[in-house]
């Protein structure tokens, strides 16, 4: 039984969101200096904003990485269609 792509994407997104919400806020610091600065702070707004800043800074590298794979996938599909024009698309 094939699961539609949108349902599969929603399941993965839900799982990632559940893991993100289950993680302790102090554990989201990326490096030892960041973890030390979060451990020394009792201000929950600082910790929350720091974690949001980490996610914002993570977005461009992830977008670039994913776009490279999308471009490679499209290029591979076009090359495959050019070399095998009689085969149906999969």
| Residue 75 tokens, joined | 């290029």
Q: Please name the helix (run of DSSP H) or strand (run of DSSP E) that holds residue 83, with its range, or none.
A: helix 44-83
Q: Worst-scoring range by mean pLDDT, 16-20, 30-34, 75-79, 80-84?
A: 80-84
Q: What per-residue confidence (pLDDT) applies to 64?
A: 94
> By the 8 A CB rule, do 35 and 29 touch?
yes
pLDDT, tens only, 30-75: 677 777 777 778 888 888 888 888 888 889 999 999 999 888 888 8
Q: Confirm whether pTM is higher than 0.75.
A: no
Instruction: Please state the separation of Cα 58 from the chain's center in Å.
Output: 9
> By the 8 A CB rule, do 46 and 53 touch?
no
CA distance 35 to 2: 43
Burial class (CB in 10 A: 0-12, 13-18, 19+), 51: buried
């Amino acid at each position: 039984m094939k699961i539609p792509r949108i349902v599969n994407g929603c399941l993965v997104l839900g799982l990632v969101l559940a893991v993100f919400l289950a993680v302790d806020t102090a554990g989201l610091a990326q490096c030892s200096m960041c973890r030390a600065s979060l451990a020394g702070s009792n201000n929950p707004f600082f910790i929350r904003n720091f974690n949001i800043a980490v996610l914002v800074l993570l977005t461009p590298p992830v977008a670039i990485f994913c776009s490279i794979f999308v471009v490679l996938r499209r290029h591979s599909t076009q090359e495959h269609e050019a070399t095998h024009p009689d085969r149906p698309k999969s």
